[in-house]
Amino acid sequence: MKNLSFFRSIVYTLFFLSLSLNYFLWQKLNQAQPGILVTEVLDGDTVLLEQDVRLRLRQIDAPETKFCGGQEAKDKLSALVKGKKVVIREEIIDQRGRPMVLLYQGGTFINLEMIKSGWVRYHSDQTSQTKILQSAFADVKKEGKGIFSSACYQRENPQNPSCRIKGNIDKNSGARKYYYPGCAQYEFTIVEKDIGENWFCTQEAAVKAGLSKAETCPSNPPY
């Protein structure tokens, strides 16, 4: 009987070891998705895949590389995916015919990591991850990270305080206006340099840059 009990113990032990090993191997195989190689990062929200396939990340919008935060966004995305294999989820085609996706590298959700970095904006869209991305973006704005730091998001001109005219681009209409002290909205207008807004020393400089005077500004400004 003792020998039989010992034999049963050995069998049960081997059985559970086999189960544990199979579970471990299943996890490894489940994580080892084939993916596709990212050969280049074009900017903070666009990558180039094998066979020159251009791919844009859904629900984020990075600054152009010439604007504030643009190079930082590109560098962050490069560190996350360049030369690595990624997995594509929830692909759609935008109005310009570009594929847009949720992107994963290993266990990392790239779209979310880009928002957490502070160097991209949340772009309205509907995916399975919308609430998570929206929440992360709200935290970034509250903390004043990245493009919402004083380097890119300015109520006053830190580089040249005497140049106080604020250039503004309406996010809905695209209208380009400028405001100077005395304009009704001046104090509330923020220069968001990540989208190409800027400061000007004179009205002439603002007009030359393609902006027009806001309708609520007084006719006799100090500029």
pLDDT the model gives residue 193 = 98
Name the nearest CA neighbour of 92 among 58, 64, 65: 58
Q: Work out whether the CA dihedral 176, 179, 184, 188 comes out positive or negative.
A: positive
pLDDT the model gives residue 27 = 40
pLDDT the model gives residue 205 = 97
Residuewise pLDDT in 10s, the chain (223 residues): 545 454 556 545 544 544 444 334 334 433 445 799 999 999 999 999 998 999 999 999 999 999 999 999 999 999 999 999 999 999 999 888 889 999 999 999 999 999 999 999 999 999 999 999 999 999 999 999 999 999 999 999 999 999 999 999 999 899 999 999 999 999 999 999 999 999 999 999 999 999 999 998 988 766 6
Q: Which two tokens stand for residue 75?
A: 């560098």
The amino acid at 146? G
**H or E element, residue 140:** helix 130-143
Name the nearest CA neighbour of 186 among 169, 172, 168, 202: 168
- Rounded CA-CA distance 12/50 in Å is 49
**Domain chopping of the chain, boundaries:** 36-148, 153-213
* Fold (CATH) for 36-148: OB fold (Dihydrolipoamide Acetyltransferase, E2P) (2.40.50)
pLDDT the model gives residue 28 = 43
